[in-house]
Amino acid sequence: MARRGRFAPYLLVLPGGLWLLAFFLIPMTLMASLSLQSGNLIDGFRQTFHWQNYRDGIGVYGGVLARSLGYALAATVACAVLSYPAAHWIAFRAGRHKTRYLFLLVVPYFVSFVLRTFAWRQVLTDDGPLLGPLKDHGLLPTDFRVLDTGFAVIAGLTYNFLPFMALPIYVALERVDRSLPEAARDLYAGRAAAFARVLLPLSLPGVFAGAVLTFVPMAADYVNAEVLGGPDDTMVGGVVRAEYFDNGAYPTASALSFTLMAVLLVAVLAYARALGARNVLGDAA
Amino acid sequence: MQNGVPAIGLRDVAKAFPGRGGTVPALRGVDLAVAAGEFFSVLGPSGCGKTTLLRVVAGFETPDRGEVRLDGASVDGVPPERRDVNTVFQSYALFPHMNVFDNVAFGLRRRGVGRAEVRERVGRMLEVVELTGREKARPDALSGGQRQRVALARALVNRPRAVLLDEPLAALDLRLRQAMQGELKRVQREVGVTFVLVTHDQGEALAMSDRVAVMNDGRIEQVGTPREVYERPRTRFVAGFVGTSNLIAGRVTEWRPEGAVLAFGADGRVVVPDASARSGEPLEIAVRPEKIGIGRDRPDDARCALRGTVADVGYLGASTTYSVATAAGDVVVYAQNDDATRTPAARGDRVWVSWHQRHSYALDAASHDDTNPDADRRPPTRSGGGPDGAVRSDAEADGSARSGAARRGGVA
């Protein structure tokens, strides 16, 4: 009995542990090793602890890296701004139909990611169904375009990752005791003050979770930049893909991947620290 | 009772909520006047509309018709933040991301009270509720009783016209609840603010209030002092929900100077003073079990008396509960065990049950009672723990009959 009890936790983590080992830790180690090798596709790669790979990667693609983070940040903010009201509405106003609206929110995502993004290309083309009529009526200059701009990339990212922001916010709002906003109103806070002082701070953990869930994959995304963006809008994910598959520069691609990972890790940790501090200070802040 | 303008006045307030197959009425036309400085309780079973009543006064619900006045001024369309009343929520609704001080200071800060005055008033109020020194504590670090006191302080610190308390003690255990009853009463006396307390616990309502309104099914059945409501229940529902009552129904056989007379069997006779029913008309009366005496000898003629057979005896230590089958139905008697030498009646004994006629009171014929549909047989309606206190220990009071009496037996 005691023996079995002692080993039970290890047995329970075994399947997940093996999975992580096989598909996460081993590839990560191989990639880490690869990022320090030198050589080329024809002669083969050798482990030389060639740290220059990192320096070269940052030197050449530093701008792309910064742009990726900028796009991801803009799209994260857009996601939060767009999905908070929707999540709020579903949590507080949808009544019995909550599940229905939550389903509607995720239903577009049953369609393939790439397909959806290409569909956006159709919508946003220079004389497409969106811009065409506006230009015909002289509401937009004829040379106005959305496709192949940074704006299109950010819009596409926002669209593609919206549920990852909306759902955590919904969960956080759903968890807030219904009488708390009422108590705030009861204590002379108007609608705006009740929201700012009580509901918003209590739902911030949801925004935080949503921001991590969207920012990290968006910063590494390359589909949106390649499909919707122009040649000046490339993101680091696209560069990694090109270095790896087009140029066969495995070490450079690996080094860039690790650089991105490190940058994201630092960004998320800094973010968690800042937000956590605000939560602790509460109303006094 | 009320001099001048009531602190809270309701006139014909009705409210219905959308529900299965149409709307479900929560309030069916409520009139109410709560005097300034009064400790007023609204007592009723769950689902009777008492919480809706409180929410209408606080401004969280808009009545379908009728009018709410605070200090004589209509608050029609006035949002909660501009009503000079504060609520103590059932869950307390303390802001979990703020400490005790910031919770209590919330209302003052929203009203733009200066920093120094906020500190002073919050400090003084925390003194009143005996929480000095816990200013920096978070709500989740407090006990249930402490949270309750923070919620109370958060309302009182604003010096509102009235504090509305929604089942404030329901979440506390029995011992703490009894302590907090005294505490609430003390604080109310100390600050002199009008309290409107909603509860399903009759012991709570009777022990704390200046006046009690008994509610059932969206209507107020009776308003009066705890004594009036207990000693002179006007409707069948009040007689059954507040304490335990024997309900006896019959026809008026004759009118005497002392009141209407109902005859039961060969020698059963019940007299009811101030009954409005005339000879030959049906009449329903109620008698409290503790007002009834039990004995083997025929009582003197002045008393109401019924002859019957002891059907059940419950020995509770301090008292004994008898159930006696009579021509007027089962009659429940609570007898004090104040004489150890006396042999109590046993099951199957032929006995007399009797009471002074001033303890029989007529119930309103118009009284509606949804909790007890078998109106023909009229078993004694029982509930709660009688006047001796808060035997009910949970929020599941449904106002209906026998479970309360059974619990009484279990607790004693």
Contact B303, B355 (CB under 8 A): yes
C-alpha B67: how far from chain center: 24
| pLDDT tens-place string over residues B348-378 | 999 999 999 899 988 876 544 444 433 333 3
Q: Cβ contact (<8 Å) for B95 and A179?
A: no
pLDDT at res. B368: 44
pLDDT at res. A186: 96
| pLDDT tens-place string over residues B184-220 | 999 899 889 999 999 999 999 999 999 999 999 999 9
Which chain B residues are closer than 8 Å to A202 by Cβ?
A: 96-97
Residues 39-58 of A with CB under 8 A from B: none
Is A13 within the bounds of a domain? no
Is A130 within the bounds of a domain? yes
Interface residues from chain B to A (CB-CB < 8 Å): 58-60, 79-82, 86-87, 89-91, 93-99, 102, 106-107, 110-111, 154, 158
Three-state secondary-structure class, residue B310: strand
CATH number, residue A65: 1.10.3720.10
Which chain A residues are closer than 8 Å to B86 by Cβ?
A: 186-187
pLDDT at res. B366: 52
- How would you label B341-368 residue by residue, b for 16+ Cβ within 10 Å and e otherwise? eeeebeeeeebbbbbebebbbbbbeebe
Encoded tokens for A30 = 């191989």
Query: What backbone phi and psi angles, to 5 degrees, belong to B298?
Result: -65, 125
**Strand (E) or helix (H) holding B146:** helix B144-156
| Residue in chain A lying closest to B86 (CA) | A186
Task: Give me the interface pTM, i.e. the ipTM.
Answer: 0.79
pLDDT at res. B378: 38
**Over residues B163-175, mean pLDDT:** 90
- Give how far A215 is from chain B: nearest CA, Å: 26
Is A201 within the bounds of a domain? yes
Number of domains in chain A: 1
Contact A123, A117 (CB under 8 A): no
Contact status of A182 with chain B (Cβ, < 8 Å): yes
pLDDT at res. A276: 65
Angle at which helices A113-124 and A150-175 cross, to 10°: 130
| pLDDT tens-place string over residues B53-79 | 999 999 999 999 999 999 999 999 999
CA angle B41, B44, B48 (to 5 degrees): 120
pLDDT at res. A2: 54
CA angle A24, A28, A31 (to 5 degrees): 145
Three-state secondary-structure class, residue B377: coil
**Distance between CA atoms of B126 and B104, rounded to whole angstroms?**
8
Which chain B residues are closer than 8 Å to A184 by Cβ?
A: 95, 106
- Share above pLDDT 70 across residues of chain B, in percent, rounded to a whole number: 87
Contact A220, B139 (CB under 8 A): no
Q: Hey, how many other C-beta atoms are within 10 angstroms of the C-beta on A110?
A: 7
Nearest to A188 among B89, B90, B107 (CB): B107
Q: Cβ contact (<8 Å) for A189 and B91?
A: no
| pLDDT tens-place string over residues B102-125 | 999 999 999 999 999 999 999 999
Query: What backbone phi and psi angles, to 5 degrees, belong to B184?
Result: -60, -45
Domains and CATH numbers, chain B: 8-231 (3.40.50.300), 246-380 (2.40.50.100)
Is A217 within the bounds of a domain? yes
Is A6 within the bounds of a domain? no
- Confidence bin at B391 (pLDDT 50/70/90): very low
CA distances from A8 to A5, A11, A16, B14, B299 (A): 5, 5, 14, 60, 76
CA distances from A268 to A74, A76, A165, A261, B152 (A): 15, 13, 15, 11, 41
Which residue type occupies B300?
D
**Strand (E) or helix (H) holding B208:** helix B202-208
- Give how far B182 is from chain A: nearest CA, Å: 25
Mutant choice from B106, B150, B156, B165 vs A, greatest count of A C-beta within 10 A: B106
Which chain A residues are closer than 8 Å to B88 by Cβ?
A: none
Nearest to A282 among B59, B102, B110 (CB): B102
- Confidence bin at B339 (pLDDT 50/70/90): confident
Nearest to B93 among A180, A197, A201 (CB): A180
Q: Hey, how many other C-beta atoms are within 10 angstroms of the C-beta on A104?
A: 12
Helix runs in chain A, H state only: 2-20, 26-34, 52-93, 98-106, 113-124, 131-136, 150-175, 179-186, 191-194, 200-220, 223-228, 236-241, 250-281
Is A174 within the bounds of a domain? yes
Q: Which residues of chain A are modeled with pLDDT < 50?
A: 277, 279-285
Query: What backbone phi and psi angles, to 5 degrees, belong to A9?
Result: -60, -40
**Distance between CA atoms of B346 and B363, rounded to whole angstroms?**
32
| pLDDT tens-place string over residues A256-273 | 999 999 999 998 888 878
Beta pairing, strands B65-70 & B329-336: unpaired
CA distances from A9 to A6, A24, A25, B354, B408 (A): 7, 21, 21, 71, 48
CA distances from B30 to B4, B52, B54, B162, B326 (A): 20, 11, 12, 19, 39
Which chain B residues are closer than 8 Å to A283 by Cβ?
A: 95, 97-98, 102, 106
Is A17 within the bounds of a domain? no
Q: Cβ contact (<8 Å) for A190 and B81?
A: yes
Query: What backbone phi and psi angles, to 5 degrees, belong to B17?
Result: -115, 145
Nearest to B57 by CA among B26, B91, B110, B13: B13
| pLDDT tens-place string over residues B225-240 | 999 999 999 999 999 8
Residue A220: which domain range? 30-284
Nearest to B233 by CA among B38, B392, B364: B364
- Higher-confidence residue: A283 or B183? B183
Contact A159, A78 (CB under 8 A): no
What's the mean per-residue pLDDT of chain B?
85
- Give how far A180 is from chain B: nearest CA, Å: 5
pLDDT at res. B298: 87
The answer to whether residue B14 scores a pLDDT higher than 70 is: yes
Is A12 within the bounds of a domain? no
